[in-house]
Structure 1
Amino acid sequence: MFKNNLLLAIGLLLLIQLTTCLPKPTSSESEEDNIIPYGTSTAMSSVSESAVPNGCKRLEANVFKGHINFLNFCLRRSNQIAKNVLADPSMNRIESQAMEYERNTLTKYVKDSKQALAMVLPADKNGRNDRFFFAMGKDFVLEDFNGFYRRRASTFEVLTPEQQVSWEALKKHGALEYNAEMKKRSKEFASHIVDEFDNYMKTLPAAEREKEKELYEVWDKYTKNKLEFDKVELGEKLFLELFQYESDK
């Protein structure tokens, strides 16, 4: 969702590795326990509510929380699917370099996604750019699985026997359902951004509207049904506006 260029993502991931602490989850934590609904104040436990400014900064912070929730959901589900696929007997019926590549790719993803899930944004690194880098680090890891899935789900290329084995195992262990749920949650997240945006604009004092003139004009058209795109599309455009690298120049 909302991809930036690959070279930037690689650089961001390296930065995350230098700045992020990795807590060890307790054995009592289940997958569903860690899924936090969009917009809740507990989405990032390292950031207290009192530390989040009001106004547009709070809107940006809420968008970040929802984005991290979405990424963590995808990382958890894809991690489990990858582990289940690796444990499937079919993945060991062919002995070839190509099959070893399939297994090694998934093995690496299981390790990397577990680390990405454990990443926590340090309390003293909560600026807009810090949040951007942090989320891009998780997103970059997730793309390894999503790319693996897309290439084997492609209808434009003939799969090798090894890729076909992986594809059948992916389908067997819930990859199609995961992909459908990911798309569903992506749309829900985009709609949630619009709801957060609507709440923000409704409470924006008249004296502050000039500072947020462009956003206010978008909101005004949205409330009057004058936009040329639907709610999900508006949410995606707002995401790109509210969640991006902020250059010092």
Structure 2
Amino acid sequence: MNEDGAPPVVEYVTSSTTRESVVTTLAAESATTRALCSALDASESGVYAAVNDLREHGVLEVDDGERLRLTGVGIVVADAVERRRRLESTLWTDLDYWRTHDIRALPDPFRARLSELEGLDVFRVSETDPAGAIRLIHDSLRNAAEVAVVSPVHFPDLGQTLREVCEDRPGRLLVTEAVVDEVRRHDDGDVPIPENLTVRVADVSFALAVADGTTFLSLPRLDGSYDPSTELVADSDTAVRFGNDLFEWVWRDATPVGDVAPTRPL
């Protein structure tokens, strides 16, 4: 409750299907109460009651043409409702995935932005093609004008793919110190990092690739282990923006690989 005893405005609006429908309808354009009655799947008395309640709570007002419109508060509430609906759509894409993977691997601001992963699919490898997710990402990397990759574990074929891509295109790779150590243990050659590939090191537990208009995101399991069998894949504009912003967030504070270990093949 607020100090005056009234419920929080977002909670108040969303506690009624009719009130929420009135707000989301008016978010698109102003309308008369009569028009709302025709547009909404609610009784006429219910719509009139919702309109009166919303006006009393400062969510709606009447313009000079006697049409209902959202106030500044109403616009904020409508935005919150839309974000919640998009988040629910993201979660319902594959509830089993979200039950078993640790969203805490992402920085807090990006946990709050999950609703931006519009058009999300969960790619699962099959028993007959356990490398399917890796191949899907590598194909996108090869087709991209530039690439950005976060790799918390050592993928032996990733270095070769990035060397091919970065012969003539820019790329950035962020890895963990464990990956650097793994590469050094298994390296028996002396293949330098391509000039077009910049490598930094940071402590991350999620994998990410943004390439060819697609965001690929892999969260760890709840026990902290890496999951090679699933991949979140989304190619909407909002999802690509999410992926790019997430990469920039971890990249800006990461350490250049030369400051961690000698330049070795990755």
**Normalised TM-score (structure 1):** 0.28
Bigger radius of gyration: 2
User: Structure 2-normalised TM-score?
Assistant: 0.26
Q: Which has the higher strand share?
A: 2
